[in-house]
Amino acid sequence: MNAVGQDMVRRDGPAKVTGTATYAYEAEVDNAAYCHLILSTIARGQVTDVDVSAALALPGVLTVLTPGNVEKLAPTDDAELAVLQDGEVAYRGQIVGAVVAETSEIARHAAELVHFTYHVDEHDSIFTTDRDDLYRPKAINPGLEPDTSIGNVGEAVRSAHLTVAETYSTPMVHHSPMEPHATTALWQDDSLVLWESTQSVHSVRTDIAGLFSLDAEAVRVICPYVGGGFGAKGSPHGNVVIAVMAARALPGRPIRLALTRQQMFAIVGYRTPTIQETTVAADRDGRFTALAMAAYGQTSRIKEFVEQTAAPTRMMYAAPNRATSHRIAALDVAVPTYMRAPGECPGMFGPEVAVDELADALGIDPIELRVRNEPEVDPETGKPFSSRNLIACLREGAERFGWADRVAGARDGDWLIGTGVAASVFPAFTLRTTANIRFDHNRYTVELGAADLGTGAWTVLTQIAADALGVPVEQVDVRIGDSAYPFASVAGGSSGTATWGSAILTAADTFRDKYGDDPADGDEAENTFIGTGFEGGPYATYAFGAQFAEVRVHADTGEIRVPRLLGVFAAGRIINPRTARSQFVGGMTMGLSMALHEHSVLDPRFGHVINHDLAEYHIASCSDATDVAAHWIEEDDPHVNRLGAKGIGEIGIVGTAAAIVNAAHHATGIRVRHLPLTLDKLLAGLP
């Protein structure tokens, strides 16, 4: 029996629930010292003086790192990593110092005693579309063209039967993984060991080795378990660099550095707020004649990251005239980064609400309207889809959800009830990864530097390896989370399982070619899988999905509840239904959270996020996510990769917010175009 497709329980489950899985901060080392970061309290200017005398006088303080007193790093164009190299402050909350002490309490106390003098420059942290310094970036994440245009959108709009042209927006949000960013760092005998909470041990190694001018072999990054990342741990941030500086300042002494929850809202990235000027024009039958989005986002003045908000508009539906653009404001704010489904997650909000608005105006069922606008091929590249089962997802979802029974104006006591639908999409690609297979004592050990963020990589890679080698899972030991293993790509872009799994298939082929089915102890083979890269191959490769939401709005108070959320996905071969379901449901729950709750309130007068803890920054609680169900359709895609697997980690969050906003409109007749959907936006329109 194949292991792939079985609902195998998590291999790391028992260690996690019994508390024996060691996370980065808990690495077993002797005599650790503790590091606490100090963040700037101005949004722009320079540190002109630092008085460390009071901090150093505190018993137990080992050293204080400040601008200018730390080692010079190798030149880098990543200003986020060039910490403490000069006194420049480019955003509030930037790292301006750190204390190392015998205990974390002493370090934290001493951090309060370090006195900074600043020269303060006027800052500008206001994100709007009427700024005169918006610019067109050279490329958008992950290397796409900023603007595209086919046909003539303006003309099409003028001759359209109906057009929805509205502005939608999504707020700044933070990843907020349960485990904060944490490091244990040890510098000893000219080599560095980092126990680091990361989505990519190898990219941490490359960046750190480069910054400190070390050979890659002198740096080892270990990360067996991660308590969530969502992109915030996709590439290293300044905190790791500080931990390494501290370790090198105190050779032989392991340094532990964990961020506080407040610091998590300052220096490890966030999803930019987006503004989406969206246009959908249609003829009388609901066929789209034009589709366009002008997308706006922010980045930090010192480092550019451009969310590809309009990317999904380029491929989702057919239309002869289409245009997308991205404009960016570079502000005195922290550096944004990728967050679960960058591009697709915010960028499917505006269009999927606009399609609903159009359906409403045309009097066409929103599912039917989407079906009418299915493209034959990827509309902008002309590539055929390797598989595209959006319609199947919509139809099966409608069936399971009871879409046909939908009635407007439904009410249950004080609650107004509505239902809504939206589509999901996420690209499928693979990256470069090497895997190694060794045989010993009748067991196969499979090694690669992959990461399990809690997604199930430990488990599904074991299943894939067992099938690739044609042996039961009990005979396979997969080892991941260590840069001592062969190079593996980042756990990101929903590319992990397909990439690492493909690398294991490739290595298994090599192993069997070399040693046949009866290897000897010590036989070992390694091979590298190249992957498609972000550009993909001859096919347009995407996972699709359909999300259905029931929303209840309290007629008196406007409180919004989502008693039911149902998603159906077409994401290629599902390796393990148990871990897959939890990815889909987790994504959908995060989408619900985005719809109703998540909002990092950046006060532009100060330049930082004011609701920077999990009491005030709301994510969905258990009672908000009462019935979240995920299903998938069987999809056999021979083109996407040998495994036939598309990514499943991110698509669950895409479309959820639009489905919920559409359902709220169905319940109340009120169209909210700016997230989060909170009761104050409904009150005025309620009976």
Binding positions for other proteins, rule: CB under 8 A: 41, 105, 108-109, 112, 262, 414, 554, 556-559, 561, 596-597, 601, 603, 605-606, 608, 610-613, 615-616, 618, 620-624, 678-680, 683-684, 686
Cβ distance to other proteins smaller for residue 44 or 612: 612
Cβ distance to other proteins smaller for residue 86 or 414: 414
Rounded CA-CA distance 114/98 in Å is 9
Which 8-state DSSP code applies to residue 531?
-
Helix (H) or strand (E) holding 95: strand 95-101
* Spatial contact of 450 and 435, defined as CB atoms under 8 Å apart: no
Helices and strands per DSSP (H, E), number in the chain = 15, 26
Rounded CA-CA distance 140/360 in Å is 33
Rounded CA-CA distance 569/374 in Å is 16
CB atoms within 10 A of CB 165: 13
* Spatial contact of 531 and 432, defined as CB atoms under 8 Å apart: yes
> In whole angstroms, what separates CA 290 from the centre of its chain?
30
Told to judge if 559 belongs to the known catalytic residues of this protein, a careful annotator would answer: no
- Triad 125, 131, 132: Cα angle to 5°: 125
The number of C-alpha atoms within 13 Å of 452 and in the hemisphere containing its C-beta is 24
Cβ distance to other proteins smaller for residue 368 or 414: 414
> In whole angstroms, what separates CA 115 from the centre of its chain?
36
Cβ distance to other proteins smaller for residue 143 or 563: 563
Which 8-state DSSP code applies to residue 485?
S
Residue 240's φ and ψ, nearest 5 degrees, are -65, -40
Rounded CA-CA distance 142/532 in Å is 13
Cβ distance to other proteins smaller for residue 4 or 596: 596
* Spatial contact of 390 and 546, defined as CB atoms under 8 Å apart: yes
* Spatial contact of 523 and 514, defined as CB atoms under 8 Å apart: yes
Beta bridge partners of 41: none
Angle between helices 238-249 and 201-211 (to 10 degrees): 60
Which 8-state DSSP code applies to residue 69?
S
Q: Which two tokens stand for residue 512?
A: 């069997």
Cβ distance to other proteins smaller for residue 271 or 326: 271
Closest distance between other proteins and the C-beta of residue 436, in Å?
45
* Spatial contact of 54 and 121, defined as CB atoms under 8 Å apart: no
Q: Which of 626, 642, 678 is nearest to 657 (CA)?
A: 678
What end-to-end distance do the CA atoms of the chain give, in Å?
60
Cβ distance to other proteins smaller for residue 41 or 85: 41
Q: Which two tokens stand for residue 488?
A: 């593996």
Q: Measuring CA to CA, how many Å separate 268 from each of 41, 260, 473? A: 17, 11, 37
Cβ distance to other proteins smaller for residue 314 or 608: 608
* Spatial contact of 49 and 217, defined as CB atoms under 8 Å apart: no
Cβ distance to other proteins smaller for residue 97 or 481: 97
Q: Which of 505, 361, 513 is nearest to 433 (CA)?
A: 505
Rounded CA-CA distance 70/59 in Å is 22
Exactly one of 196, 304, 598, 650 is catalytic; name it. 650
Q: Which residues are catalytic?
A: 650
